[in-house]
Structure 1
Amino acid sequence: MDAQAELPPEATEAHGTKDTHLPAHPMYTQEPRAAFAPQYISPTVERPKEDFFIFRPRLLEQAIQDLKSQLSKDEDGDMRTAWILTTVSHWGTENEVLVLLCDRSLLICYYDFVGLCSSRIFRIPLNYIDTVTWGPLSYPKTALHKRVGPALQVQWDKLRPPPSFVSRWNPWADLSYVILTQHPGSINKEEMHSMCQLEQFMEHLVKLVRLSHTQNPLPGRANGLLVLHRPVNMETSLGLISLLNTSIQLGYAKSRPGFGF
C-alpha cells in the first residue's frame, strides 16, 4: 500500500501534495472578503418634523431664558413679550430674529440656534423711536427678488439725513431704521401663533413707545411717535445677493440634510 495515501490531509499539504478533490471548508471561501460591501443601516429614530430650529419648543425656551439673563435692569427693565420675526436689510437679505419688548427698550436678537448662544443683540431705547411705518414692501422695477407681504419699519432718528449713495451700497452701513417682516416658517404654527404676528407686535410696540415718551421724554427733542401707513421702500436696484440669500434661506437656522448650516 502507498504510504502517502495513509497520511492525513494536513500531512499531505505539508508535503506539498494537496488533494484538490477534497471539498472546501463549509464556513469559508477561498477569498472571503472579495465580494464584501458595507451594509447601510437606516436609523429607526425619526427626525424632528420642524425644519426651522427656532420653532422647536425646547430650543426656543432655552434661547429666551438665555436672552433674559442678559437684560439690564436699568436700560431694559423687565421683559414684556417675545416675538419670532425676520429682519430685512437694505440689501434685501433676510435673517430670523428673536425680538424682546421690554419696559424701556426694544431688543433685536440674532440667536445662534446651532451653537445655542446669542451672536448679536441690538438695543434700541423705546423713547428714541420716533417713526413706525406699516405697509407692503416696495421694490424698484429692476429688482430680481421681491418679498410679498406686510412689513414694519422702525425708525429712531427721523432728523438724520437720508443714507448716502455709499451707505446704500455698504452692507454694514449704520442706518437709523430696521425693517421687520413675518417669519417664513410661521405658517400653521398654532402653538406659537401669537409670537409670529407682525401686526400684533406693532400694536404692542406703539403702545410701549408712546408710554415711554410720556414717562422718559428726551430733553430738547419734540417727543412723540409718528405712525405711517404706506409702502416700505426698498432700494435694492438688482438684488442678486438678496435672491441667493432668500432662495436657500441662509439667514435661517434649519435642518439641511447633506449640507452645512
Structure 2
Amino acid sequence: MSTIGSFEGFLPVSLKPDGDDQPSERDSLPTEEGSSGRNSAPSRTARQPSVTESVLYPNPYSKPHVTRKYFVTRPGAMETAIEDLKAHVAGTMDEVIRGFWLLTEVDHWNNEKEKVVAITDNTLLICKYDFIMLSCVQFQRIPLSSICHICLGNFAFPGTSLDKRQGEGIRIFWGKSEDQSLWSRWNPWSTKVPYATFTEHPMKNSSEKFKEICKMSAFTAKLVPAVQNAHKTSSEPGRGKGVMVSTEPILIETYTGLMSFIGNRNKLGYSLARGSVGF
C-alpha cells in the first residue's frame, strides 16, 4: 500500500524570490538514473533573458510611477511656472531673471516645502507655486544686497530630535538669527525668519531637465557672485564689506520634530497626487 507523499524520483525545488533572474544549478534538467552511460549530452532548458526595468527605463535613479506623482514633472508644469514668474517680474520689477531652480526649502521647524527660486541682478525670488492649479501661492522678494551670510554644509539636529535628515544644504541669511523674536522662532507658521534653507528637490534625478534645475551646486555658483556684485554696486551703508561664505553644519532646532516627521513622510509640502478618494 502506497503512502501519500512518498513520490520517488522527484527532486525538491527551491523557490526563488521575485526579481531573482540569476541562473541557478537547477535551471538545467537532471538526467535520469542509469543514463550516465549514454553518449547524448544533457539537455538544458533555454532561458530567455527577462526584460528588466533598466531596459524599459534607462534612468537608474527613479521609477516612472513615482515620478508621475509629483505634479511638477507633468508636461508643461515647470514651463508654466517659469512663464508666470517672468510675467510677474516684468509687471512689477524692472529686472531680468538670470536663472530658475526647483529646490526644497527646509523651514525652521524642518518642514519641507517645494519652491521655485529665481535670481535677478538685484533680487532673490522665492516662490511657493501650486503645480496642481498652476498658480503662485506665495512670493518672497529678498534684495541681494541685504544677504550677509551664505552657509554651506550638512544638516545638524539636537540629540532628542525625532525627524533628523541626512544630506547637505545651503542657508542664506539676510539678518542676524540673534535678532529673531522668540515668537517667530517657536511659531511653525512664522514667515518672519531672517534666513532661508534649501536642499535638492526629490525629483533631481528624474530627467536631464530636472537634473539641471534641481542642482544645488549650480544655484550656489550663480548666487554667490550675484550677491557679491550687488554688494559692490550698492549705495547702502555697510554693504561694501561683501558677503561671508562659510562651510559649517546647518543647525535645525527641532527638539521633538513630530509635526515635520508626519508632514515630511507624507510629502505634504509638495504638489503631489494623493490617490483616489472616492470609490
Q: Answer yes or no: same fold by TM over 0.5.
A: yes
Deviation at 1:221, TM superposition (A): 4.6
Tell me the CA shift for residue 165 of structure 1.
3.7
Spell out, residue by residue over 1:140-166, the C-alpha distance to the aligned partner (whole angstroms, 9 max, x if none): 1111111111110000123x6343443
Q: Measure the CA separation in 2 of the matches of 1:122 and 1:152.
A: 17
Mapping of 1:18-167 within 5 angstroms? 50-71=68-89, 75=93, 77-158=95-176, 161-167=178-184
Where structure 2 has 5 or more consecutive residues not aligned to the other structure, the ranges are: 1-64
1:167-208 deviations in whole A, cap 9, x for unaligned?
Answer: 321123311101011111222422321101112211110010
Equivalent residues in 2 for 1:169-180 (5 A)? 169-173=186-190, 174-180=192-198
Q: CA RMSD in A?
A: 2.2
In terms of mean alpha carbon deviation, does 166-175 or 61-70 score higher? 166-175
The equivalent residue for 1:184 is 202
Which stretch shows the higher mean deviation, 56-65 or 185-194? 185-194
Aligned residues: 214
Q: Distance in 1 between matches of 2:66 and 2:217?
A: 29
Letter in 2 for 1:134: L
CA distance in 1, matches of 2:183, 2:71: 36
Q: Which amino acid aligns with 1:169?
A: W
Task: Return the index of the structure with the highest Cα Rg.
Answer: 1
The two structures have a TM-score, normalised by structure 1, of: 0.76
**Distance change in 2, residues 1:132/1:242 (3 Å):** same
CA shift digits 1:112-155 (9 cap, x unpaired): 11111101010001111110000011011111111111110000
> Structure 1 residue 48: deviation in Å?
9.8
In 2: Cα distance, 1:238 partner to 1:193 partner: 33
Distance (whole Å) between structure 2 residues aligned to residue 141 and residue 189 of structure 1: 36
Change (3 A) 1:162 1:245: same
Rounded to whole Å, the distance in 2 between the matches of 1:125 and 1:184 is 28
Bigger shift: residues 171-180 or 67-76: 67-76
- CA distance in 2 between partners of 1:252 and 1:227 (Å): 29
CA contact (8 A) 1:86 1:97 kept: yes
* Aligned amino acid, residue 105 of structure 1: T
Structure 1 distance, partners of 2:91, 2:233, is: 16
Q: Which amino acid aligns with 1:113?
A: F
Inter-partner Cα distance in structure 2 for 1:170 and 1:230: 25
Equivalent position SS for 1:84: strand
What is the distance in 2 between the residues matched to 1:228 and 1:220?
20
Letter in 2 for 1:89: D
- Tell me the distance in 2 between the aligned counterparts of 1:68 and 1:235: 35
- Any conservation in 2 of the 1:93–1:246 contact (CA below 8 Å)? yes
Identity of counterpart residues, as a percentage?
Answer: 36
Counterpart amino acid of residue 253 in structure 2: E
